[in-house]
């Protein structure tokens, strides 16, 4: 069976083709965790031991 490539999946899930795509390895830059500021709020993005992403406030 022919499976779509990951790039094809990313493209299919984008609501607008002009929406930028950032690879998680680029975003995390070798870290397991980072803080994202959104206005006055801070969010923690972390990579789990099973290599999933979790975003918490």
Domain ranges of the chain: 22-57
Q: Which CATH class is domain 22-57?
A: mainly beta
Q: DSSP per residue over the chain, as a string? A: -PPPPHHHHHHHH-SSTTS----HHHHHTT-SEEEEEETTEEEEEEE-TTS-EEEE-
pLDDT, tens digit (0-9, with 9 covering 90-100), for 21-53: 999 999 999 999 999 999 999 999 999 999 999
The dihedrals phi and psi of 25, each to the nearest 5 degrees, come to -65, -35
Kindly report whether the global pTM for this prediction surpasses the value 0.75.
Answer: no
What does the pLDDT read at residue 30? 95
């Amino acid at each position: 069976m022919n499976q779509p490539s990951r790039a094809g999946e990313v493209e299919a899930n984008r609501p607008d083709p002009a929406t930028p795509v950032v690879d998680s390895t680029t975003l995390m830059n070798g870290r397991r965790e980072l803080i994202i500021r959104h206005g006055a709020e801070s969010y923690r993005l972390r990579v789990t031991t099973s290599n999933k992403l979790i975003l918490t406030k």
